[in-house]
Amino acid sequence: MPETPHVGAFAIVPSNDLAAAIPFWERLGFARSGGDAGYVIMRGWGCEVHLTQAGDGPWRVPEHNPFGIFIRTPDVEAIAARVDDLVIRPGGVLRHREWGMYEVGINGPDGLLVRIGWPSQLMRASGVGA
């Protein structure tokens, strides 16, 4: 029986090389759950990300990539550990931020900013990231 879909909003992330972007998301702990050759649906950590092949536009040059995605999950430490070599340093290291999130910044495909986090007060209450 198919999984019942959950209500939510999901990012559609353009990639210059869609096939090369998939292993990045798999490394973060996502798995392909649908799509086709030009549009891929990835699920993991209770989240969903849609990837599409980029067309022409200024984002074709990674340092001008205007896109970013925030993944909100209490598993922020587990994900950060999977991709420690991709953490943006020094600014993106895993820590409590002044805006109340315990988060990490990851350098994704094509210069995509991937931030992963969970509210600091919930992390502290659970004894994680204290």
- State residue 66's pLDDT score: 81
What is the H or E stretch that residue 106 is in? strand 101-107
SS3 54: coil
Report if residue 4 sits inside a domain.
Answer: no
Sequence-distant (≥ 6) Cβ neighbours of residue 105 within 8 angstroms:
87, 88, 91, 92, 93, 113, 114, 115
Domain range holding 113? 12-126
CA atoms of 72 and 8, how far apart (whole Å): 12
111 vs 30: which has the higher pLDDT:
30
Average pLDDT rounded to a whole number, residues 34-46: 94
- State residue 97's pLDDT score: 95
SS3 123: helix
pTM for the model stands at 0.86
- State residue 13's pLDDT score: 92
How large a percentage of the chain has pLDDT more than 70? 92
Report if residue 46 sits inside a domain.
Answer: yes
Sequence-distant (≥ 6) Cβ neighbours of residue 23 within 8 angstroms:
none
Residues facing residue 49 across a β-bridge: 42
Report if residue 117 sits inside a domain.
Answer: yes
List the CATH number of the domain containing 63: 3.10.180.10
Report if residue 5 sits inside a domain.
Answer: no
How many CA within 13 A on the CB side of residue 19? 1
Residue 18 has pLDDT above 90, yes or no: yes
What is the H or E stretch that residue 125 is in? helix 120-126
Residue 114 has pLDDT above 70, yes or no: yes
Provide the number of structural domains found in the chain: 1
Report if residue 76 sits inside a domain.
Answer: yes
Report if residue 86 sits inside a domain.
Answer: yes
Sort residue 60 into left (φ over 0), alpha (ψ -120 to 50) or beta: alpha
Q: What is the pLDDT of residues 57-112, one digit of tens each?
A: 766 767 777 889 999 999 999 999 999 999 999 888 999 999 999 999 999 998 89
Report if residue 6 sits inside a domain.
Answer: no
